[in-house]
Amino acid sequence: MRVARFAGDDDPRFGLIGDDGGVPTVAVLKGDPLYAGIEFTGEKIPLDDVRLLAPVIPRSKVVCIGKNYAAHAAEMGGEAPAEPLLFLKPNTAVIGPGEPIFYPSQSEDVHFEGELAVVIGRICRDVSPTDAAKVIFGYTVANDVTARDLQRSDGQWARAKGFDTFCPLGPWIETDLDVDDLSITTTLNGETKQQGSTADLIHKIPDLIAYISAAMTLLPGDVILTGTPEGVGPMEVGDEVSVTIEGLGTLTNRVVDRD
């Protein structure tokens, strides 16, 4: 199923993306399916009439994996680390499809990084790779927006990766997806910049969940960004960036000046 979160009159609402006589619709749910299960209100809204939001606001953290594709590690000027390289983005960085990425005044080199994201479905720690599937709620598309100059000058990546709006997620969560070999494409103003496949992930998702959960408890709604393929590059104010993952969908955002 495809779980969407969308703007309501007051609070965000949740629904399942479906089809009503050829018209894409959202079947509205009574609550957040991460916590409340699947219970329909009976209301259906055409998808074109809703404003999609980030499909999840991570309960506590976005855990990201650096250099998890060999070709990207090479373009960054090195080899991929033997063990997964972890860093965090704050949940305040998350925005949804169509929302603006703010270009911070502190940077002159803001990059896109298209990535497959994993949404955790239940509280867990010390998960074995063979049990990892049990703690996955679903998958979505992410853009690990990065101030590359600050990443280099700071040493630590918290600021460079953690600006408000630097973690677009969406357009929805797909819960039934074989992620072993999915194409990932990033376009900038319609021009293809990244073209990779999740088949080339060095550390696979079950191993990542085991590695992360051996260090920190994961909560429902936490998100893991699995790394970006080669082809990262700069975005300028006014650019439109889209990340598409096969079988999942397209996440599009525009870069805007904060002022």
Give the interface with Mg ion as residue ranges (CB under 5 A): 113, 144, 228
CB of 150 to Mg ion, least distance (A): 14
Torsion of the alpha carbons at 36, 37, 41 and 43, rounded to the nearest 10: 120
CB of 159 to Mg ion, least distance (A): 15
CB of 122 to Mg ion, least distance (A): 25
Nearer to Mg ion, 55 or 229 (CB): 229
CB of 228 to Mg ion, least distance (A): 4
List residues bridging with 168 in a β-sheet. Answer: 95
Nearer to Mg ion, 142 or 255 (CB): 142
Helix (H) or strand (E) holding 202: none
CB of 18 to Mg ion, least distance (A): 32
Nearer to Mg ion, 113 or 222 (CB): 113
SS3 percent helix, strand, coil of the chain, rounded to 5, is 20, 40, 40
Nearer to Mg ion, 86 or 219 (CB): 86
Of 91, 64, 248, 253, the residue nearest 173 (C-alpha): 248
Q: Report the alpha-carbon distance of residue 240 to residue 190 in Å, rounded.
A: 8
Residue 138 burial (C-beta neighbours within 10 Å; 0-12, 13-18, 19+): buried
Nearer to Mg ion, 99 or 113 (CB): 113
